[in-house]
Amino acid sequence: MSTEESPNVPISIPGSNPGSNAGSNAGSSPGSNPEPSLDSSPDAHLESAITRETSPPASRNAAGETRAWGINNDYAPLHDVLLGVPEYFQWVEAGPLIGRTLANAHKTGVRFDLQLAMAQHSDMVKIYEDNGVRCHYLQSDPVLHRNFFARDSSAMTPWGALICHMQLKVRRADYVTAIQFYQDSDIPIWRYATAGHFEGGDFVIVEPGRVLIGYCGERSEQAGAEQVAGFVREMGWEAVTAPISREFVHMDGLVVPLAEKLLVACLDALEPWVVQQLRDWGFDFVDVPYVEAKNLGVNLVALGNHKVLSMHGATQLNEKMRALGFEVYDPDMSMFTLGGGGVHCLAQALCRDVV
């Protein structure tokens, strides 16, 4: 694709700011680890997030044409992000990550706290907004009580949204609110995953023209991964499919772009041939130790301009990124990581600078 200018087209969003109820310290200083703010109620966060009118994202290309969507990478400056509202969040058996939490709760003493989850989510939203990212929201639904993990029901591409086919029973209908959002926002739907199951967390654009696609069997299946890879190849891009361990659920638990030709990855957990393929493509790595990767340490969001949204538990990774000159935000997202997803799982990049 041709190079585009940074999208600086303002969006008019009537109503209140969903991050305004976050604690005053949340995300205020990169590298700090403030306690989650609990002085604002979940209801206040909900009211601001789900009752306001949200305009579609917008950017402008080099020809001056307005475009309301699209990414050809996952590391350039982020301008618009799709989130959800975890008002119906609960810890239920939903795969190996939360399964480990529930199986060990009698020893660890951890328990679910909806108010704390809402406060942590609000703190995350504030970090996005403090960095000029416009936040958009899937419609919450008491039946679709995990649809706020916005990464999995769809995937944004340069050609429009890919609507995914989720396998997990409690998330099987999440595509409904994804389709509704894209239709209401006038964002084109590019393709639908229909051959086997496929989920957005397994669609990793490592750089323009190249996609790494994963499948563990319990969530994305090989048939679904191969179908999506075929869609990508039809558009002239390279696509590589690879099996991953069910322990990591999705490929974005193992590999996430950080900057041009730089990936955050748990190399020990990837198949050697996958690591070699990435090296052949010219990538360097910030290696994440297994002890952090198994708790979603890899699952971060590059904000662009050498800024990154990580999480409190990824201590070694955060130190490595700071040593490389990155400005790292590391909020406590424990209600979500213990519940099965990190900040990358919670977000779908809608609009980034084109590189």
Going from N- to C-terminal start, the domains of the chain cover: 42-352
Q: Tell whether the torsion through CA atoms of 241, 193, 100 and 288 is positive or negative.
A: positive
135 CB-near residues (< 8 Å, 6+ apart): 18, 19, 80, 81, 83, 125, 128, 129
Q: Tell me what pLDDT residue 26 has.
A: 35
Determine the topology of domain 42-352 in CATH. L-arginine/glycine Amidinotransferase; Chain A (3.75.10)
Q: Is the pLDDT of residue 132 over 60?
A: yes
- Pick the more confident residue, 225 or 19: 225
Q: Tell me what pLDDT residue 92 has.
A: 80
Q: Please tell me the pTM assigned to this model.
A: 0.81
CA 206 to chain centre: 14
CA distance 309 to 343: 8
Q: Is the pLDDT of residue 46 over 50?
A: no
Tell me the two tokens of residue 131.
């960095």
Task: Name the average pLDDT for the chain.
Answer: 84
Q: Which of 234, 76, 68, 69 is nearest to 156 (CA)?
A: 69
Q: Tell me what pLDDT residue 66 has.
A: 52
Collapsed DSSP state (helix, strand, coil) of residue 24: coil
Q: Where are the beta strands (DSSP E) in the chain?
A: 59-60, 66-67, 78-83, 134-137, 154-157, 160-163, 189-192, 203-207, 210-215, 238-243, 255-259, 262-265, 284-287, 301-304, 307-309, 327-329, 348-352
Collapsed DSSP state (helix, strand, coil) of residue 50: helix
Q: 46: how many CB neighbours lie within 10 A of its CB?
A: 18
Helix axes 114-130, 42-50, angle to 10 degrees: 50
CA dihedral 271, 248, 345, 110 (to 10 degrees): -150
Quickly state the pLDDT bin for 299 (edges 50, 70, 90): very high
CA distance 178 to 194: 15
Amino acid identity of 352? R
Q: Tell me what pLDDT residue 62 has.
A: 44
